A and B are shown apart, each in its own frame.
Chain A
Amino acid sequence: MESESSSRSTESIHILVIEDERKLASAISEGLCQGGYRVTVAFTGEGALKVLSEKHVDVVLLDVMLPKMSGLETLREMRKRGFKMPVLMLTSKGLVDDRVRGLDAGADDYLVKPFAFPELLARIRALHRRVIPSAPTRISLDDLSVDLSGRMVERGGRILELTEREFDLLEYLMLNKGTVVSREMVARDVWKSEVRYTSLDNVFDVHIARIRRKLDDSFERKLLHTVRGVGFVMRSGEE
């Protein structure tokens, strides 16, 4: 009932994915492996508890809807047995009730299905980090440098003029540089909107287009990339 996927480094973070939907489980497992995590998949709560008793697990990804032993029951049992690692719940219902019950049962965070993969990665990073490192004042990528306290953007020695909103968006992308940021994350973290809606989507596109014009148009190497259907990412490589 379980399978372990190998990873790039043995010291990497070990994630236990408890999900009975096999297609989703294998997709998550694959995606996490690509992200450099070590992954074990359990399809039932009972199987998960067995894995936990045998191996060291850093983060648990738990589906609420499981056959036989439900996700909440599994979570309670885990906590009862003294497993204290962070747990990220996957719920398919967007009802507040469900979230509250999950958090009450000892979950550290929750994510509503269908979720965007970059969002899942971001949540796992946040959970594992636990202690938030002190915010940097300057982030650089290639020849781009963003001064967060002075709100200044410089590339190749030239200062770029950005509007306030453009800067907010760029700052967010830079804080997550190297990883893809989904539209949901942008809506929530930059536009402070709990729901993502079409009007906002159009607004993002315009802002992204403007930032790209100022940031990348006159340079050979492009830094702001759109991963079609997934989101946006700041990186200096190809693609």
Chain B
Amino acid sequence: MSAWISKIRNRLTLWYVGIFGLILFGFVCVASALHYLHLQDQLYHAEIQDMETVEGLLYFEPDGRLSLRQDYFIREEHRLLLDRLLEVLSMDGNVLFRNSKLGNDSLGGARTASEGSADFFRHSLRLASGTHVLVLSHIRPVEGRTVLIRVGYSTEPIRKQSIQLFGLLILVMPFALLAAGFAGSKVANKALDPLSQMAQLTQHITAHRLNERIPVSNADDELGHMALVLNDLLERLEKSFQQLRDFTSDVSHELRTPLASIRSIGEVGAQADYEAKKYRDIIGSMLEEVSRLTGMIDTLLTIAHAESGVLALNRSEFSVNELVQEAVSIVRVLAEDKGQAILLSVKDEVDLSADRPFMRMALVNLIDNAVKYSPEKSEIRILVEIVQASAVGDSSMVRISVADQGPGIPEDARERVFNRFYRLDESRNSEVQGVGLGLAITNWAVEAHGGIVSVSSPANGGSLFSMVLPVTPVNMIANT
């Protein structure tokens, strides 16, 4: 039962039937009541006619008793009048006449103040015998004496009739409800069937079949919209699963290199007898690889956290100029070692709202990259300027570009340069330290701030990396 009720379609039907039943019941009650009132009204009009007839038939006998002319009842239809209850009172309250039907009962006892004074007075009462009657009172003179005439009809017949009607309608109700329930469940099924179809389809889509999609029959209705939303979700899931797979394979591949070194160094060291200094060297060498591994894992975790949105940006307002100068001062020693010159030109002074440590890291990586891949005694030019971007709202953007005189980056590799572990020339890499995460970190940091990093190769050679950042934060969803 609880399983049955837990289904939306069944609950819907139940609600439908319940509400329908309530409305129907109300309707039956009102109809019966109206019917009763209508019959009572008819009775009232009949009583008025009777009253007028009775008034014409009353007379005082010589001995002073009030009587009803009997000769009138010869005609059959007038016999009906005998069904009425009749009582005549004198104005001082004495009973002058009661018909046989009424017997010893009283039609309301002594006269109340307002009774019969104005036209016909209508009221309901209950006789001693228990019958409900509708009574009409009228004051009028009979042969010179003013009397109060009361005519009453039992309301029992019309009451019965109304109850019968009520009962009949109630009797029909279950059938109506059954029909409503049937119709309701049909409608609910029709509405919900596509949903269960969708659920079935979705159930079939597992982690390995994320490329499947739910067919959208009508994109405009609610269910079509739902299917679109689900498809969108699937797409994002597929993308992140793919990312995860790439990540895992990248990582296992990249971690193997230092692990292999550690293993070889350790194995070789363990096999022969060396002097203490040599052992220290071996351990040191292993530790260096461990340190490389640790650094790699840290960086990867940072990227992973960032991509999953766990890492929150800690924004503050700072001068871009100062940040660039700081980054340059950090990397300058590396450039000096290679006899390179870093030329910084600030075209516009800009204050930026961003996570300063991350932006510093992004910038250091970018400049370090330029130093690493540029020949000795070359120049690295850094330019800070404001650019107006129409693409992202109408807030102004700041562009920081780093131009080097290195070999440049082939066009087909420009997209992938920012990918994790991507290194251009594998053969040349052995002499250049790094694990191919620097630009990935830079890319992530800039994108997290709603900016873009790109690389191009100017006509005069080298490569030009530039990051464009919105000066004020833009609300955007990262990783779209």
Any A CB within 8 A of the CB of B348: no
* CB-CB nearest 8 A-B residue pairs: A229-B287, A228-B284, A199-B368, A229-B284, A206-B333, A229-B288, A198-B434, A199-B364
Contact with A along B326-347 (1 / 0, CB 8 A): 0001110110110000000000
Any A CB within 8 A of the CB of B286: yes
Any B CB within 8 A of the CB of A194: yes
Interface of chain A residues 18 through 44 with chain B (CB within 8 A)? none
Nearest CB of chain A from residue B71's CB, rounded to whole Å: 110
Binds A, one of B177-185, B289-297, B458-466: B289-297
Interface of chain A residues 185 through 239 with chain B (CB within 8 A)? 191, 193-203, 206-207, 210, 227-230
Any A CB within 8 A of the CB of B433: yes
Is the beta-carbon distance between B441 and A200 smaller than 8 angstroms? no
Is the beta-carbon distance between A200 and B330 smaller than 8 angstroms? yes
Nearest B-chain residue to A228, judged by Cβ = B284
Is the beta-carbon distance between A202 and B433 smaller than 8 angstroms? yes
Any A CB within 8 A of the CB of B189: no
Any B CB within 8 A of the CB of A1: no
A contact residues around B365 at 8 Å (CB): 197, 199
Any A CB within 8 A of the CB of B250: no
Any B CB within 8 A of the CB of A157: no
Which among A95, A165, A196, A227 is the interface contact of B298 at CB below 8 angstroms?
A196
Is the beta-carbon distance between A94 and B291 smaller than 8 angstroms? no
New A-B contacts (11) at CB < 8 Å, excluding given A199-B438, A202-B433, A229-B286: A193-B357, A194-B357, A197-B364, A197-B438, A198-B368, A199-B365, A203-B334, A228-B284, A228-B288, A229-B290, A230-B287
Chosen A-B contacts, 22 in total, with CB atoms closer than 8 Å, are: A94-B298, A114-B290, A183-B291, A191-B330, A197-B361, A197-B437, A198-B295, A198-B437, A199-B330, A199-B365, A199-B438, A200-B364, A202-B433, A203-B330, A203-B333, A206-B333, A206-B334, A207-B333, A228-B284, A229-B286, A229-B291, A230-B284
Is the beta-carbon distance between B285 and A198 smaller than 8 angstroms? no
Q: Which residues of B contact A (CB under 8 A)?
A: 280-281, 283-288, 290-291, 294-295, 298-299, 301-302, 305, 310, 329-331, 333-334, 336-337, 357, 360-361, 364-365, 368, 433-435, 437-438, 441
Interface of chain A residues 95 through 132 with chain B (CB within 8 A)? 95, 114
A contact residues around B283 at 8 Å (CB): 228-229
Which among B285, B301, B333, B441 is the interface contact of A210 at CB below 8 angstroms?
B333
A contact residues around B281 at 8 Å (CB): 228
Is the beta-carbon distance between A202 and B288 smaller than 8 angstroms? no
Per the bound structure, the CA–CA distance linking A165 and B437 in Å amounts to 26
A contact residues around B310 at 8 Å (CB): 95
A contact residues around B336 at 8 Å (CB): 206
B contact residues around A206 at 8 Å (CB): 333-334, 336-337
Nearest CB of chain A from residue B314's CB, rounded to whole Å: 10
Interface size on A, residues (CB 8 A): 24
B contact residues around A229 at 8 Å (CB): 283-288, 290-291
Nearest B-chain residue to A166, judged by Cβ = B333
Nearest B-chain residue to A113, judged by Cβ = B294
Q: Do A199 and B301 form a contact, CB below 8 Å, given A114-B294, A229-B284?
A: no
Is the beta-carbon distance between B329 and A165 smaller than 8 angstroms? yes
B contact residues around A193 at 8 Å (CB): 357, 360-361
Per the bound structure, the CA–CA distance linking A206 and B331 in Å amounts to 10
Nearest A-chain residue to B299, judged by Cβ = A197
Nearest B-chain residue to A117, judged by Cβ = B287
Nearest A-chain residue to B310, judged by Cβ = A95
Which among A95, A197, A228, A230 is the interface contact of B295 at CB below 8 angstroms?
A197
Nearest B-chain residue to A192, judged by Cβ = B357
A contact residues around B305 at 8 Å (CB): 95
A contact residues around B294 at 8 Å (CB): 114
Nearest B-chain residue to A93, judged by Cβ = B301
Nearest CB of chain A from residue B339's CB, rounded to whole Å: 13
Q: Do A228 and B330 form a contact, CB below 8 Å, given A94-B301, A193-B357?
A: no
A contact residues around B298 at 8 Å (CB): 94, 195-196
Nearest B-chain residue to A210, judged by Cβ = B333
Nearest CB of chain A from residue B412's CB, rounded to whole Å: 26
Nearest A-chain residue to B434, judged by Cβ = A198
Is the beta-carbon distance between A198 and B438 smaller than 8 angstroms? yes
B contact residues around A201 at 8 Å (CB): 295, 433
B contact residues around A210 at 8 Å (CB): 333
B contact residues around A165 at 8 Å (CB): 329, 333
Nearest CB of chain B from residue A94's CB, rounded to whole Å: 6
A contact residues around B299 at 8 Å (CB): 195, 197
Per the bound structure, the CA–CA distance linking A187 and B108 in Å amounts to 109
A contact residues around B433 at 8 Å (CB): 198, 201-202
| Highest count of chain B CB atoms <10 Å: which of A199, A200, A227 | A199
Nearest B-chain residue to A202, judged by Cβ = B334
Nearest CB of chain A from residue B132's CB, rounded to whole Å: 79
Per the bound structure, the CA–CA distance linking A95 and B312 in Å amounts to 11
